[in-house]
Chain A
């Protein structure tokens, strides 16, 4: 007769869900659905941290690219203003 599955954190409770990241079985209180998929607390924490890191990098990239473009634009604009100085004044 097969042994009933138990929660990896609480051996006295039956396991009702499977963490799709680590594959361990947990009781209902030890898993959290995230984007429709069940994860245990440590795996969920790792996924959320990875998401924050991606958002942090993605937040910097546009700003740094824009800064580089503006640096070039400002330098070129000075030359344009200089070239058209006679018409402007």
Chain B
């Protein structure tokens, strides 16, 4: 599915997510660098936090568009057109609300570590559940997202699967960068020394950028998985899965033989 919707929808997802990831990298890098002195730079962190908040809203729109494109591809079997850009305003506002609830919880609970994969998964489910938000409200949209999480074992397995994919992607990016440095070293020699220091395992900002890049690579597959997961889960309760299987059987039964 990701290959079918890659152009241009993965591009939309990445373009809207890149500002957020870069700002998050800048925030984390400066925070680690300053440590306990960070409290003296409250104004700088405050301005950057508001920029992250605005970039977060842009990234939410990109996710909504990509999730809609994946959903249309899954439902119709055809590559979605530019209509996927026109996400319904009402459902998108409800999605923004749910995502902001999860973002506030994430910022408050990220230090615990355990909450991170749970909240990240719920954030993805929120995007995948976009077509299924009913009436607006404070609790009904949250119940819609939590209902999508009832196949707990599948979601826990997906957390392990995509965490592994994330690590593999990060390692691949690291090797790619080292290979590029190695090849450039042959041509440029000693002038690459500062780059080797900055783009190695000792470079804090480089490692954070590596993590951001790895997440950008994994995110399209992860979101596509969640879109299909939510649709199949809902389909099982409404018989849509049986209708789909029947349509597939009919198509294979009456397909012209070679």
Contact = CB atoms under 8 A, between A and B. Distances in A.
A and B interact physically: yes
B218 interface: no
Contacts of A81: 107, 110-111
Contact of A78 (B34, B107, B111): B107
A63 B138 contact: yes
Contacts of A73: 104
A15 to B, nearest CB: 40
Contacts of A71: 53, 57, 100
Q: Is the interface of A mostly helix, strand, loop or mixed?
A: helix
A82 B41 CA distance: 9
A86 B35 CA distance: 5
A83 B137 contact: no
A78 B104 CA distance: 9
B21 to A, nearest CB: 15
A66 B101 CA distance: 9
Contacts of B104: 70, 73-74, 77
Given A60-B136, A74-B100, A74-B107, A83 B42 contact: yes
B42 A70 contact: no
Nearest to B51: A75
B15 interface: no
A67 B137 contact: no
Contacts of B97: 63-64, 66-67, 70
Nearest to B37: A86
Contacts of A75: 46, 49-50, 52-53
Interface residues of A, number: 25
A73 B49 CA distance: 11
Interface in A33-89: 59-60, 62-64, 66-67, 70-71, 73-79, 81-89
A63 B138 CA distance: 5
A78 B27 contact: yes
Contacts of A89: 35
A81 to B, nearest CB: 6
B36 A59 contact: no
A84 B93 contact: no
A86 B38 CA distance: 8
B135 interface: yes
A78 B37 CA distance: 15
A79 B37 CA distance: 13
Given A77-B107, A77-B108, A67 B39 contact: no
Given A71-B57, A75-B46, A75-B50, 17 more contacts: A59-B135, A59-B136, A63-B93, A63-B97, A64-B97, A66-B101, A67-B96, A70-B97, A70-B100, A74-B104, A75-B53, A78-B107, A81-B107, A82-B31, A85-B34, A86-B35, A86-B37
Interface of A: 59-60, 62-64, 66-67, 70-71, 73-79, 81-89
17 contacts: A60-B93, A62-B137, A63-B141, A70-B100, A70-B104, A71-B53, A74-B56, A74-B107, A75-B53, A76-B49, A77-B107, A79-B42, A79-B49, A82-B27, A83-B42, A85-B36, A89-B35
